[in-house]
Every structure is written in structure tokens, then in C-alpha cells.
Structure 1
Amino acid sequence: MASFGLTLYSFVYIGLLFCGFCLAADPFANFELDFSYITASPLGVPQQVIAVNGKFPGPTLNVTTNYNVVVNVKNRLDESLLVTWPGIEMRRTSWQDGVLGTNCPIPAKWNWTYQFQVKDQIGSYYYAPSINFQRASGGFGGFIITNRKVISLPFNTPDGDIVITIGDWYTRNHKELRASLDAGKELGMPDGVLINGKGPFQYNSSVPDGIEHETLNVDPGKTYRIRVVNVGISTCLNFRIQSHTLVLAETEGHYTSQQNYSSLDIHVGQSYSFLVTMDQNGTSDYYVVASARFVNQSEWNQVTGVAILHYSNSKSRAAGPLPDPPNDSNDNSFAVNQAMSIRMNNTASGARPNPQGSFRYGSINVTDVYVLKSVPPVMINGKKRATFNGISFVNPETPVRLADNYKVKGSYKLDFPNMPLDRPPTMDRSLINATYKAFVEIVLENNDTVVQSFHMDGYSFFVVGMAYGEWTENSRGSYNRWDAVARSTTQVFPGGWTAILVYLDNAGAWNLRAVNLDRWYLGQETYMRIINPEDDGQKTEMPPPGNVLFCGALAHFQKPQRISASDALRIEGLLKLKSKILVVFVVVIYMMI
């Protein structure tokens, strides 16, 4: 009888689980991501890296527009973990964002399940750990959202799709690197650049023997969509393929005007899609290069990633010098002009049938202005810290919206200054008290000595202006108010500024940060708390998920994990199904037995 009960429960559980999915308006995509340590030697030196499902880098997740995405994360590390999904907008649910201001960390040896919908999105993204400097050891992978079949691509369907991760890399693991930062030290020059987790092809004698390199296999005459994302720590990389033209087609979920580039700078956290036609003589292989930018080239010469593009009819290895990077050492306008040449394709449909450029952002009145200024790290209370507007952010012990829902007082403050203030720097839990459905202008001023990447969770924004020098109100006269590209990560050059416009229609608590991992770790971030005051029925923001983790002032609510978080979430879903469905399944299964 006990066996019958177990069998009956299993059939009901499975049947209801799938029935719940089939009744949903949009399909579900389910993934298991197992984070663990493995030993690898990407630069010829054995070291501990973070693998996902035993792979470094992790697997690419591929879903379709509007899918409900369920990702069960297994944390097999020896410390807490959070996984974030930069650029994926998480409509109405910052609970799934995977950063400390919105999620309690997943304890070591625990599971936790993320669930979100990729509503009205397409494009090339990635996932990565967000805490403990873990991204410096891996744990990242690609995330692709493909068009629905009813929405045509603004280009001929490619013959293949290739995902490439690039990034600077140290042979020290993330624990050693963060210990250096904690001690007030600089990280120093990276040991190399990886392409898909592998070191450079031996293009000259400076590359040691025994390093495994990446090979991209292609057929002559075919066109491939090559998606490139910089998952590195802090270095902008110039990407190029020897003798091949890069036709830019998409960046971070938005189709671009299709312009030709011989190379493109890809800053930390940025992703691009290129259409590349294999139109060269395929009798030999070609170099694929990712080299450091905005650094002293003579010192950083070895910090170069090199992979191989291998035609199926190739008969010889690539040889000779690498293709040259941009020669702009005496022209600081080149990088800015290249960045601003990336424009929106206003005639293309995005995730919806209407053209994605139909949102006339240039004619909307700005309601709020924020100027975020960064400077080189400074000493605060004896610690080296990085700041926005003189504030080095300290993550609240109780995440923002969790504190709101449980009425925890004093977890954070809503007093982040909208302009730089003339006062000593401080460490604080200061958030931006943003207005729901405001149309805001954010000016990013970089008074630091390094080029920075800036990211905003939960949103895409229009990159309307960028220049060297000091931003003034007169700078608005140079803004692109018609076809500026929309994206979630933009560069800010040292001694320069970047201006973005964004419509705050996604309620929640959303992270604003430097993507440069050292600056982020040292506190260069804050959050926008965006609440709809008229939402008394949770229509504009979802309630806390049933599997929410508790920490800080609410830690006493957290129960020990006895089953996986994914199973707990599914069981909760079963209990919410209508009882008549349960009865139907019980009757059917009983008749079968």
C-alpha cells in the first residue's frame, strides 16, 4: 500500500507539474546549473576555477522571447553564491536579480531556484556570479534569447550561431585577488586574456608551449552570427578577426544599424552580435584576437587572447603577425566616435511586431536628473574604497524589498545625492529614491584613471551622449535624440562623461554599478528603489517568491534546507493548483492502475 501511495503521488506530482506548464500562457524553459570548483590550466598554470555543470566557461542557456525561465542553481562552492543575469530586464521581479541588494545569498551546499520571464526581449546576454569576487574565477556563460518565429530577423538567417566569451584573466584565484583588494593593494596587470576559457594560440615565441587554444570551425561561403561578450574583470578588449569584416547586428537586446567594422572595442560586461561571412581564401587558418585597450601597449603586449578561425578546407595553420589593433594613440576621439557610431535599427522589429525604434525618447520631457561621479579609490575609515558621488556603498544586511515587505526599519537610507557633493567620502547604505514612470537623465562622470563600464539592472537605456572633458548643461546640445542605441551597459572614458536616458517603468530595487569588478567590489554601486505608490494589488511588482531566502534581521525565518529549493518551489505550485485538476489526475491514474 505504501508503494502504491508513493507511485500515485509521483504520477500526480509529475502530471500536475507538466499540466501547470501546459496551462501557462507562455512556455517554460528549465535549466540546472551546478557551480563547483575544478582545476584547469587556461594559461598553462594549474589553478582553481569555478565551473558550471563541470564546464569552464559554463553552458550557454538558449530560450525564446516570452519564455518563463526556471534555473535551479546548486551551490557546491565553499562560500555563498548569487547568480545575476545582466541585461535581462526581470520585469516586475527584482527578487530574481541575483545581487545582494535584492537577494539573500545562497549558502554553500544549498540550492535555490530562479524563475523569471524574458518578456519582450531578444538578444545576447550572459550570467555570472555577483558576489565574493567570484566572477574572476569563472562561473559565467552565455544567455541567448531568440526571436519568436512570427517575428522576422532584420537580416538573412545565419548559417550558424557562435558564442564567444572574452576576458582578462589572472592565475591567482578570486580569493587571492579579493584579499589583495581588502589589503588596499592594486590587482596589477592581468596574466592574459581568455577566449572561451582558453589561452592564446602560439602565434609567436612569447606564448609558452602546452596552452590549449580555442578553434572556431566554419565552412567557406557561409555567414555566421558571432556573439561576443566581455566577461572579464576590468579590461576593455578590442575584438577582430583577421581579414574578415564584422557586420554589427545587435547589442544587448537591440538590433543595430548594420555597419561594417574591422575591429570593435568591447568593454567589460558588453555583448555584441556580428554577422561574419567566410569569404576569404580558406587554404589557411585565420587569427581571432582580443587585445587590451587603453593601456601601455609595450607593457601589456602579452595580455592578448588569440583563437583560430578554421575553414573546413584549410590546409595550414595561421602564421605571421596578428592583425593590428586601432592606431589611435594620438587620437582620443576615435574610441568615442566608434562608440557613438553604434545606432539603433529603427526599422527593425525587436521582440514585438512594431519597430523597436518607435519609442520617441527624444521628445519626452526629462523629469529627474542624476549626475554620478566616480574618482580613483580613496581611503575611508582606514579602508580603500570606490565611490559614486562620494558614497561607497555597503550592502544592507536585509535586502531592500525584503526589508520593505517585512517592515524592517533602518536597513537602508533613501538619501543618495543626485549630484556630487563637496564633502568627505563616506561608506553608507544610501539608495536613490526614484519615481515610478519618471523619465530620467543620468550623467556618468569618470574622474578615475581607468575606462569604466556602467550597468543598470532591470532596464535598457538610451546612450545619447559621450565625450571627453567636463559635462555641462550645454552638452545636451550634442545628444542623439533620434536613433541612439538602447543597451544596459555603457563605457565611460577616463576624464570624460556619458549621458543616458531611461524610462523608469519597472518597479523594484535595481542595481546601478561599475562592472569593473575591482571597483564594484570596493563599493562603486547603489540602487534605484522604484515603487508604484498606487499598486495595492501587486500589479506592477510581484510579491516575494515562495522560496525566498531570509537573512539579516529576518534570518530567524529561514528554515534549514532539507530538500532542493527547486522541489520546494514546485511543491508550492502544486498546492496552488485548483483542486478539481488534482481530482481528475487522481481518478485517471487510479483507473490506469
Structure 2
Amino acid sequence: MAFWSFLNVLVIHICLFVSLCFALDPFVSYNFEVSYINASPLGVLQQVIAINGKFPGPTINVTTNNNVAINIRNKLDENLLITWSGIQQRRSSWQDGVLGTNCPIPPKWNWTYNFQVKDQIGSYFYFPSLNFQRASGGFGGFIVNNRAIIPIPFATPDGDIIILIGDWYTRNHTALRKTLDAGRGLGMPDGVLINGKGPYRYNDTLVPDGIDYETIEVQPGKTYRIRVHNVGVSTSLNFRIQSHNLLLAETEGSYTVQQNYTSLDIHVGQSYSFLLTTDQNASTDYYIVASARFVNESLWKRVTGVAILHYTNSKGKASGPLPEAPNDEYDKTFSMNQARSIRWNVSASGARPNPQGSFRYGSINVTEVYVLKNKPAVVIDGKRRMTLSGISFVNPSTPIRLADWYKVKGAYKLDFPTRPITGPPRMETSVINGSYRGFMEIILQNNDTKMQSYHLDGYAFFVVGMDYGEWTDNSRGTYNKWDGIARSTTQVYPGAWTAILISLDNVGVWNLRTENLDSWYLGQETYIRVVNPEATNKTELPIPDNALFCGALHKLQKPQDISSFATSVTGEISKLFTLLMIICAVIPIIY
């Protein structure tokens, strides 16, 4: 009798414990082994970066408010960090995966990222942020779904498809790095990959035989959500599917006003969701095309990715010429007007039940203004460098947030200029001082001849204006103050400007960079430091227990990888929860 009384009390406590735990936001875990494999995406054998033996890597699929743990085992022969493009680690730049905030994961080490996808939905991707590694792979999709109680502003699709597009070199990232270090440009890419595969042989002259290409199979009469990410090195790509309309529905966490496009320019680092209805005749397969933009397209014909959309009842292979890209030779505003047409769906719910447009960004007073200007490459101290407002960023040996926490002096300067410097360009670790709960206006001025994409970690910003020429104070009269799209990556056209507004509500140190890998590698970036003067865990989480140490703090680092323990603990906790749930389910049967 005493035994059964004890068991009853034990079961009650166990079930109460399980109920308490499951009342919290769910926990999702992934294990990533990052290594080299050999592959021939363009018919030339080369070394690529794989995750769990796959190139591209697996898709991370979670739901908003999930707590996410991703254990990284670095099997490369160099340091590694993974960054989560567009994922806003609320209160935790410790998990951002860039050198300004994190020490790198050494070879043969494990390290576990822990963050929450708080109040966020949408289409994103991840990639390695160090040493030009993204040019060799290591990337994959990252989906954050709505909770079931929050409606999406369209009928539930019949399927979800990820398409990763990007320019590609048959030289690996170490060779490309050496080219840049020697003061030379990378030259024309060797092709464009779609989901890690080369082009379908639509042209016998441009495409050699024997290249593996991507086939996406669909059923007729269905609607699919297609999430497209430009994960390439530096080339803007026009995306299109032969004979099909692309109904734009979401970009980087914001639902858009739904509009049909026959094609859309997707710039480096950008992500879009389209709804594709398979309503065409299935007499043949259809081309999926990603072709180079804002280059000499007659010379860059080989820089075209081609995959196949295959209906299950298709009667033949795709053939003939590719669907044409936009011809804006005589209309330089075509692509910009297309970008301006992308609007925020202010009546749709985002990650919360309230409409997206309930945040009236147009009525908030701007507290600080920065004009960031990039120019063509310059030589500083004998090195070819890229600059932002005349400053070429130098990554600190001690990450900025780590230096703050341990009060390391001299790790960086909090003096990034509000306007471009007038003197000679210089190399510095210069950081923007952002005011907590301020409202920052940033004008990105592109005085180079190449298209640029800019990304801000930790935030979605409002894209409120863009135009050709030099930005002036009068340009504010053209801003969209009502339904400008909120996103984390925006394009800036050559000889043009783009204006963004940011609500600085996420405490931390956040990377602002060009997504063009060559320019980023050569220094075209900075960080925005946002500090709450009142220290509290409510606005920023404390330094994680498994933090890595380097630079001035390297002596604090233990000589072994202590974070591998987190993975085993995660596995054991998962087993314990499963056991507890079984016990709770079985007890009523016993009684």
C-alpha cells in the first residue's frame, strides 16, 4: 500500500512537471556536421562545404517562438561560424555567428547555438560567415512557420518548396580568397547553381553534357509555396518559371501585398516566397531560370541557372529557348520600379494576431541619421580594400560584445561617422553607436558601378525609399511612410540610394554589411551597438555558458570543447520527456 501511495505521489509530480515544461515554448534541436565533400556541380570536380554530407545543407523548419538549439561540429580545416540570415535573435547577439560578436569555432570542435525565433515568421537561410566559405557552400533554408492559431493571408499551400539560387565558381573559397588578397577581382562566375546543381542542357554550346540538374516535381491543379533565396557570391539574378506567374506573398518575414510577376530580380542575400499555381498544359516540362542581371548579359550567358518544373502528367522534356529576362536596356528604372512595387500587407497578421500595419513607422520621430556611402575599391596601406563612408572595417581580435562584457579597452572605436569622411580612407574597427529605443534612419548611397545588397542582423527594417542620384534632405519627400516593406536585406542600385528606417529595440551588437561576398571580405561593413543603460536580463540575455573566448580573453578558454556536453544533455532531456509522457499516458490504464 505504501508503495502505491509513493507511486501515486511520484506520478502526480512527474505529470505536473511535464505539464509545466510543455506549457513553455517548444524546444527544437538540430545536429550539423560541417565538412568538405567532393562534387561537380558545373561538371568540374571541386571541394564544397556540406552539412551532414549534403550540399546544400538540410532545411531548418521551426515554428515561431520555438527555442532552437543547433549543435555545430566543425570538421573543416579552418575556423567556422554559422549565421542565420534574417533570423532576429531577440536579446541575444551572442548567437549571431559573425566575428564582431562571436569567437570562431575551431576545427574539430563542437559548439551549440541556442536562440529563440521570437515573434517571427517567414523565409530565411543560413550560411558560414567566415573566410569566404559561403562561396563553397554550407548554406541551407530556414523556415519559421506561423503558429496554428495565427491565420496566414492565403489558402494553405499544397506543398512547400525551397529553391537556393546563386552564382558559382569552380575555384573553391580558399582560391577565391587568395585572388582577393592579391588585389585582383574575381572575374565572371563560372555559372549559376539551383539547389546546388548546374544547368539543364537547354543549349548544347553553353552547357556541356553530363551535368546534374535540379528537377522539381509538382502535381497539376495545385498551389505551392516556393521560397527562393539568392545565396550566391555577388550576382543579382532574375528568377522566372516558364509560362507561370509568380504570386509574391512574403519576403524575409513580412507578408506582402499579393501581386503577380512573370519574373523578379532577386539580389544577393534576399529571400522571397511565391505562390505557384500549376495550371498550365502538361504537354512538356517547364524551365526554371535564374540568370545574371546588371552585367553585360551577352557576355554572361553562361551565368544562367536552369532547372526543370516537372508536372507528374508531363508528356515530354522542356526544349527550345529560355523565357526571356526583362530587357531594360533603354529603361534603367524597370527593376527599381519593380522593387518599389513590393508593399507590406498591412492588414495581414504576422507572427502575432495584430495586423502588421499596426506598427505605424511613418509617424515615429527619427532620432539619428546615418548616410553610408560605398565607392569602388581603394588602396589603403598597400592593400586593395572596400569602404563604407571612407572606413574599411577591420574585424576585432576580441569580439565587440565580448569586449563590452569583460570591459576590454581598445577593442573597437564607437565613432562611426554620421556622414562619409572627407579625408583619405582608413582601416578601423569603427562601430555605430545606436540609442536603445531610438529610431534610426540610414541612407545607403551606392557610388560604385555594381549592384549592392545590404543586410542588418537582429532586425527587420522598413525600406521607405530608393532612387537614382545623390540623396539629399529633400529626398525624404518621396518616402513611403505607410506600407514600405519590412525586411532584413535590401538592394542599392549603382549610382543610386536606398533609405531604411530601424526601430532600435533589440539590445546587442548587430552586423550591418554588404552581402556581396567580395566587398564584405574586403571591409564593407560595420556594426550597430545598441545598449540598454539599465542592465537587465529582460532586454538582453547574459553571456551563454558555452561562450568561446579569443583575442585578449583567450586565456579564459578551456583547452577542450566543453559545449559538446550540451548535445548529449539535449538528447537525454528529449529521452526523459518521452519517458515521462509515456508514464503519464500509461498510469490511467494501470489505475
Shorter-chain TM band = over 0.9
Partner of 2:86: 87
Partner residue in 2 for 1:339: 339
Give the secondary-structure state (helix, strand or coil) at the position aligned to 2:176.
Answer: helix
Q: 1:568 to 1:56 in 2, by over 3 A?
A: closer
Contact (CA 8 Å) 1:401, 1:508: kept in 2 or not?
A: yes
Encode CA deviations 1:47-76: one digit per residue, 9 max, x unaligned. 000001100000001000100000000100
Note if contact 2:112-2:567 (Cα within 8 Å) is conserved in structure 1.
Answer: no
Conserved in 1, the CA contact under 8 Å of 2:110 and 2:561?
no
TM-score, normalisation: structure 1: 0.92
Equivalent in the alignment of 1:3: none
What does residue 288 of structure 1 align with? 288
2:367 equivalent to 1:367: yes
Q: Could you tell me how far 1:565 is from its partner in structure 2?
A: 2.9
- 2:386 is matched by which residue type in structure 1? A
CA drift at 1:283 = 2.0
Structure-2 residue corresponding to 1:471: 471
- 1:304 is aligned to 304
Asked if 1:548 is matched to 2:532, the reply is: no
Q: How does 1:174-573 map to 2 (within 5 A)?
A: 174-205=173-204, 206-535=206-535, 537-561=536-560, 564-567=563-566, 570=569
Give the AA of the match of 1:121.
Answer: Q
Deviation readout 1:89-120 (Å, 9 max, x if unpaired) = 10000000000000000000101000000000
Contact 1:509 1:528 in 2 (8 A): yes
- Aligned with 1:258: secondary structure? strand
**Structure 1, gaps ≥5 residues long:** 1-14, 575-584, 586-593
SS in 2 for 1:290: strand
Structure 1 residues 21 and 452, CA, compared in 2 at 3 Å: closer, same or farther? farther
Residues 534-579 of structure 1 show CA distances to partners (whole Å, capped at 9, x for unaligned) of 22x32211111000000000000101225553537949x99xxxxx
Question: 2: CA distance between counterparts of 1:482 and 1:233?
Answer: 33
Deviations 1:435-490 (A, max 9, x none): 00000110000011100000000000000000111100100000000000000000
Q: Is the 8 A contact 2:111 2:561 kept in 1?
A: no
Instruction: Give me the CA root mean square deviation.
Output: 1.9
Q: One-letter code of the match for 1:118?
A: V
Change (3 A) 1:20 1:542: farther
Alpha carbons of 1:139 and 1:146: their partners in 2 closer, same or farther (altered >3 Å)? Answer: same
Please give the TM-score of this superposition, normalised by the length of structure 2. 0.93
Show CA shifts across 1:16-36 (max 9, x none). 9x9699356100110011100
Match of 2:142 in 1: 143
Residue number in structure 1 paired with 2:9: none
Residue 443 of structure 1: SS of its match in structure 2? Answer: strand
Letter in 2 for 1:155: F
Equivalences, count: 561
Contact 1:451 1:494 in 2 (8 A): yes
Distance 1:24 1:399, change over 3 A: farther
Asked if structure 2 preserves the Cα contact closer than 8 Å seen for 1:547 and 1:569, the reply is: no
Q: Is the 8 A contact 1:431 1:528 kept in 2?
A: yes
Q: Name the SS for the 2:85 alignment partner.
A: coil
Q: Helix, strand or coil for the counterpart of 2:203?
A: coil
> Amino acid of the residue matched to residue 472 of structure 1?
T
Q: 1:244 to 1:510 in 2, by over 3 A?
A: same
Indicate conservation of the 8 Å contact 2:546/2:563, yes or no.
no
Give the SS at the match of 1:210.
coil
Alignment check: 8 A CA contact 1:89 1:118 kept: yes
- Name the SS for the 1:181 alignment partner: helix
Aligned counterparts of 1:499 and 1:20: Cα–Cα separation in 2? 48
CA contact (8 A) 1:112 1:566 kept: no
Q: Which residue of 2 aligns with 1:156?
A: 155
Tell me the SS of whatever aligns to 2:257: coil
For 2:476 and 2:133, locate their aligned partners in 1 and report how far apart those are by CA, in whole Å.
39
Distance in 1 between residues matched to 2:552 and 2:305, nearest whole Å? 46
Flag the 1:449–1:482 CA change in 2: closer, same or farther, 3 A: same
Cα drift, residue 530 of structure 1: 0.5
From the superposition, tell whether residues 216 and 539 of structure 1 become closer, same or farther in structure 2 (CA, over 3 Å).
Answer: same
**CA displacement, residues 478-534 of structure 1 (integer Å, 9 cap, x when unaligned):** 000000000000000110000001100000000000000000000000001100102
SS at match of 2:305: strand
The offset of 1:401, in angstroms, is 1.2
d(CA) in 2 for partners of 1:372, 1:193: 30
Report the residue type matching 2:107 in the other structure: A
Distance in 2 (alpha carbons) for counterparts of 1:176 and 1:21? 53
Query: Quick check: 1:129 aligned with 2:157?
Result: no
Report the CA distance between 1:405 and its aligned residue. Answer: 1.0
Task: Report the CA distance shift for 1:20/1:58 in structure 2 as closer, same or farther (over 3 A).
Answer: farther
Shift of residue 298, structure 1, vs aligned partner: 1.1
Instruction: Classify the secondary structure of the residue corresponding to 1:168.
Output: strand
Q: Where in structure 2 are there 5+ consecutive unaligned residues?
A: 1-13, 574-582, 584-591
Residue of structure 2 in register with 1:166 after alignment: 165
What residue number does 1:42 align with?
41
Question: How far apart, CA to CA, are the structure 2 residues paired with 1:152 and 1:135?
Answer: 35
Alignment CA distance shift 1:87-1:391 (3 Å): same
Contact 1:113 1:569 in 2 (8 A): no
Residue pair 2:109, 2:561 contacting (<8 A) in 1 also:
no
Identify the residue that residue 120 of structure 1 maps to in structure 2: 119
- d(CA) in 2 for partners of 1:357 and 1:89? 19
Maintained 8 Å contact 1:111/1:566: no
2:6 maps to: none
The answer (yes or no) to whether the contact 1:68–1:117 under 8 Å persists in 2 is: yes
